[in-house]
Structure formats: structure tokens, C-alpha cells
Amino acid sequence: MSEWIGYMVSIECDSNKGAYQGEIISVNNTEIILSKAFYNGIPCEESEVSIRASDIIDLKLIDKQTSAAGTSIITIAKPVAKRAGRTQSVSESGNANKANLQNGMSNSNVKSKPIDIIKPNHDSYKMSTPNKKDKNKGKWNRGWRDEACFGSPLDDAIFKDFDFEKMLALFDKQAIWEEINSQKPDVVKHTDQNKRTAKYRHDENILATTPTTYRQIIVPKQEICEYVTDDGLIIPSISRLLRNKLFLLADRAGLTWKKRNELMGRAATEMALQLLGGGHRLNPHNTHQMPTVVVLCGPNRQGAIGINAARQLASHGVNTIVYIISTESDDIITELALYKMTTNKIITSITELPELTDLIIVALCEESDNLKLYSSLADWTKKNRASVLAIDPPAAGTPGITAKFSLVPVLPLPHSMENGKIYLCNLGFPIELFRNLKIQYKSPFGSKFVIPLHPNEDI
């Protein structure tokens, strides 16, 4: 068997070992050692492969040829897959050669028709997908999968950092959209533009609708001015005379002015707290940013309501400054005594008013005051530029001062635009008080203590 050394050989082993091809460099009765070996058509990484004689079921010797350049060319027989019931491999020429190394028998004269196969490099050869049988036997290893997928082993690849900026530069979305839009007809473009501009919030309807309006409050004498709530309820305005009669009945029933004063002060406090930012501004962790409110109080019941609101705001931690024109009224004296306990400021001179403040509460005029003009206070209010909240102002407004919001009790008067947006306060009047004045009344407040009113534009 020593004469086999140097020959190329194709060896088929049992079903668990596969097939080998290569050049014989050593042979004996127990094993064959191959160099430049191929396993199932794949170059082996080892320089030498040893095959035991007991594993061999078929062996074919192949000529060793030399090219014109003197380099060795390996020529091996193309293996033919065994079919069911077939006991030996058959070459393309139909010649069979069976070797039995254990008995020392060989047949080197019978040779199959060779096929010239030059060992390829990793960049040129392609590999077929392993069959299910090989996969179950563990032959589908990582190297096999890599080469079958990428055409060459990943171990030899040159890994480079991925250039994200270069790849993003290759994809210009704006240019692509412009190209697509340029190909659309004008009608399609116009439709797309309409679709882009038609945007709705989560609380808006796609179909334009108007809120349902209905009346549940009817007064004996209808005024020209009417209001409507957010829920579509129509709120009629009443005259100053009718409102005074309603307050007189309330005093006789026990709902005195002092009780109404406390309710109005609470309503003004709630509005002021919301205008100051609510829980975002009035937070225990933001004590260094507590807002400042200036309350302008006249020598009347409106002034007393203003002082009451200042006291309640101070109980929420708001810095309050009360400017009072006169303390001669008994109503003012009582509220002022309670406010002094807050240790907040009380001033009587316009020069002591701060240059900047967060909110101005105006409680200066009653209708009986014949609309006195406080020109100095009006000038200071305009320069300050803070929001103005008026408490039960005259229907024509406070002279020289334009309010942004106005808080009014029970039923509104026909207010002018000088009083800004009107908010209605619930004083808890019993329904019998309205019936005594022939007012058909049903509460519009629902779950709220103060509700906004909007001018009814349908009249």
C-alpha cells in the first residue's frame, strides 16, 4: 500500500462520517492520512486528516496530474449520492472500485473518470444549503451556516464600523416626497392640502354642531340682554330693582347680607386661585414663588366683599395687599378686623401700591355710588397690566377700569363690555324666594359653585 502515497483518493465512509477527498501522505492497515483534504466538498481547516480503515466503505484512487506551469492540480471523482437499496457508489463512468484495507486488498488499476476541481478561495465558491439529514447529525455547524448564507466564512471578514451618517445621507425623505408630489395632478394636490389643514382636537366634533339652547329660568320682565351657559342654558338678565327686591326677601328669610358676603368672598377666592395658576403655582414646595394679589376696596358692601376675599386668599398662603379708601362703614370695620389677624398689608395711599402684582381685585363701586371716578386707581391699574377681577360691579362697569372678569350673584344684570367675561355665583337662594317674585327658576349650576356666562348672540 505504500505505492498509494502521492495519489489523490476519494473515500466514502459510513453514513455518520461522510466523504473525504485528498492526497495520500501515509497509509497502513489501520488508517489513511490525507493532506489537502476536502470533507463533503468543503476544504478542511486541518493540514492533515486521519481516517480509520474500519470507517471506510468505498475508496477510489485518482490520477495525479501536473499542469504546464508545474503546479499540482487535484482531480477527484464526482461522488454520486447513494439511493435506497444501493450498496456501493457509482462514478460518472459507471466503474466501481471497492477497497478493503483490513484484508490488505487493493485495486489500483481500476480508476473512475476524473473531474478537475481546483481548490477555490473563500470569495469565489458558493455552498449549497445543508439537507435536513446533515442538520440532524450535527453537521450544520456555525461555519457551515455562515458560508451557506454569506458565501464565505465570517472569520475572514473585515469588520468595519457602520457609517450611519453616510447611510442617512443616501435617503432624503424630503426629496422623495417632493418627487412624489410633483407627479400628482393638481386636483390630488389640492385634496392632500385640505386633508393636512383639517385637524381636530380630541374634544372637537368633525361635524359642525351648535349646542342645544333651552330656557328653565323665566323672569316677569324680559331684559334685552341674555346669557347662555356652557351647557346651553339661557340665563336672562334682570334689572337692579328686581335684584334689590330679591335681596330684601332673602334678608327677611334669614339669608342676611353677612351670609351672602361670605359666599361671594369664597366664590371670588376660588376664581382668584384659578387665575393665579391653581395647584401649579400654589404648591407647598413653591413658597418662594407665592403670588401677590392687590384688592382695591371702596367704602361700601362691595369693599367688604373684597376684604373678605383677601382674608380667604391669605388663608391659602397668598400674599395680599388691601387698599381701602375709607373705614367709616360698619360693614368694612367688621371685615377689616378679621383681615388684620392675617398680618398682611393694609394701605390707604396710592403711592404705597406695588409696581407689579399677579392679580388685581376691584371692589370699589355700587350702583348707588353714582359711579364715582377713582382716576388715580384707574391709572395705576392700567400701568400694572395685571388681570383685573371685578366683584359685583355696576352694570355700566367701574369708571376708568376695564375688568377682564366679573363675578356677579344669583342672576346677572345687563352688563356692558367693560365688565369683561361674566361669572355667576350661587348664593343658595331657596326656590320660594323666586316664586314670590314670579320668577320661574331652576338652578343652572349643576355640580359647580361658579359658572361662566356668554352673551346670547341668537337674540
pLDDT, tens only, 203-251? 666 665 555 558 889 998 877 789 999 988 999 999 999 999 999 999 9
Cα–Cα distance between 387 and 271 in angstroms, integer? 12
pLDDT computed for residue 323 by the predictor: 95
Q: Buried (b) or exposed (e) across 264-293, using 16+ Cβ within 10 A?
A: bbbbbbbbbbebbeeeebbeeeeeeeebbb
Contact 317, 288 (CB under 8 A): no
Cell, residue 433:
324666594
Half-sphere exposure of 284 (CA within 13 A, CB side): 0
| DSSP three-state, residue 234 | strand
Contact 27, 2 (CB under 8 A): yes
Placement of cell 386661585 in the chain: 273
Half-sphere exposure of 246 (CA within 13 A, CB side): 25
pLDDT computed for residue 359 by the predictor: 96
DSSP classification of residue 220: S
pLDDT computed for residue 93 by the predictor: 38
Query: In this structure, what are the phi and psi dihedrals at residue 48, rounded to the nearest 5 degrees?
Result: -135, 140
Cell, residue 295:
384688592
Placement of cell 481547516 in the chain: 45
Tell me which residue of 27, 22, 60 sits closest to 40, measured CA to CA. 22
pLDDT computed for residue 346 by the predictor: 95
Instruction: Give Cα 398 distance to the centre of its chain.
Output: 47
Each residue of 155-179: pLDDT tens digit? 545 556 777 777 777 777 777 888 7
The secondary structure element, H or E, covering residue 50 is: strand 48-52
Cell, residue 326:
375709607
Q: How confident is the model at residue 287 (pLDDT cuts 50, 70, 90)?
A: low
Tell me which residue of 409, 414, 378 sits closest to 396, measured CA to CA. 414
pLDDT computed for residue 149 by the predictor: 63
Pick from 116-130, 221-235, 399-413: least confident:
116-130
Q: Across the chain, what does the average pLDDT equal?
A: 78
Placement of cell 362697569 in the chain: 397
Q: Which residue has the higher pLDDT, 202 or 362?
A: 362
Contact 255, 427 (CB under 8 A): yes
In Å, what is the CA distance from 200 to each residue of 205, 210, 307?
A: 7, 16, 44
Domains located in the chain, CATH noted: 2-119 (2.30.30.100), 216-455 (3.40.50.10260)
Q: How confident is the model at residue 154 (pLDDT cuts 50, 70, 90)?
A: low
Cell, residue 209:
354642531
Cα–Cα distance between 389 and 100 in angstroms, integer? 113
